[in-house]
Chain A
Amino acid sequence: DAGVIQSPRHEVTEMGQEVTLRCKPISGHNSLFWYRQTMMRGLELLIYFNNNVPIDDSGMPEDRFSAKMPNASFSTLKIQPSEPRDSAVYFCASSEGYGGAVYEQYFGPGTRLTVT
C-alpha cells in the first residue's frame, strides 16, 4: 500500500496567487481529513469528509480556503488568494471512518507551503 499521497511536497508562491494542494487517500478508506500545522498554532483540523461529503468545515480559517472531494480517491484544498500567513505544512490523513467506531488515522507526508 502506498499510503496517503500528497502533492506537491513543497510549494512556494507569491501573495495573491491561487494554490491547490492535492491528496490521494488510502484505498478503501472513507474518511479524509485536512490539517494545518504551524509553530504558533500547532496542528489544526481544517475540514473532514466522509464518503466524499464534507462533515465539518468549522476549522477552515476563512472564505479564501475551500476543499473538495469529487471521488473516493482524490481531494483538493484550495487557497485563493493566498497570503503570507497561510505559510504552513498542510497534512492530509485518511481513516476507515465507518459511523461511530474509532479508527487510526494515516497521515501523508505533508505539503510545505510558503507564501512570499
Chain B
Amino acid sequence: GNSVTQMEGPVTLSEEAFLTINCTYTATGYPSLFWYVQYPGEGLQLLLKATKADDKGSNKGFEATYRKETTSFHLEKGSVQVSDSAVYFCALGISGGTSYGKLTFGQGTILTVHP
C-alpha cells in the first residue's frame, strides 16, 4: 500500500534557524508529492508540490525536492520566522486507476519557532 512517514516532532527552533522536516514515502505507481501547512485554528492548505522525480517545489521560502532514489521529499527553509509556527503534513497522491484525488497524509510535524 501507500504510506508517508514524517520525522517525529515537535520541532522547536529559534528565529532565523535552518529548518528540515524529513518525509519518506512508500508507493505503488508514480506518486505526486505535496507539503501542506496547518496554521492554528485553520484547515490544511497546500504549501508546495512536485509531480515527478527531481522536481523541486517551492513557495514562501520553503523548498522540497522529489528524490525517487531515496523515496524522500524533505522540506527545507533557510531562515524560519515565528510566523512559520504550524503543523506540516507530507502527502502523496497516485496517478492512474480510480483514485479520484485521494491523498495519503503523513502524521504531521509540529513546528514552533521562538523569537
- Residues of chain A touching chain B, judged by Cβ–Cβ distance below 8 Å, are 4, 31, 33, 42-43, 45, 48, 50, 55-56, 91, 93, 95-110
Contacts and interface: CB of A to CB of B under 8 A. Distances in A.
B43 A102 contact: no
Interface in B27-70: 31-32, 34, 42-46, 49, 51
A103 B44 contact: no
Interface in B69-99: 89, 93-99
Contacts of A97: 100-101
A105 B98 contact: no
B43 A43 contact: no
A105 B108 contact: no
Contacts of A101: 95, 101
Q: With a 10 A CB-CB cut-off, give which of A31, A91, A105 has the most chain B CB atoms.
A: A105
Given A99-B98, A99-B100, A108 B43 contact: yes
Given A102-B51, A104-B49, A48 B42 contact: no
Given A102-B94, A109-B42, A33 B108 contact: no
B94 to A, nearest CB: 7
Contacts of A4: 43
A102 B89 contact: no
A101 B96 CA distance: 6
Q: With a 10 A CB-CB cut-off, give which of B43, B102, B107 has the most chain A CB atoms.
A: B43
B103 to A, nearest CB: 6
A100 B101 CA distance: 8
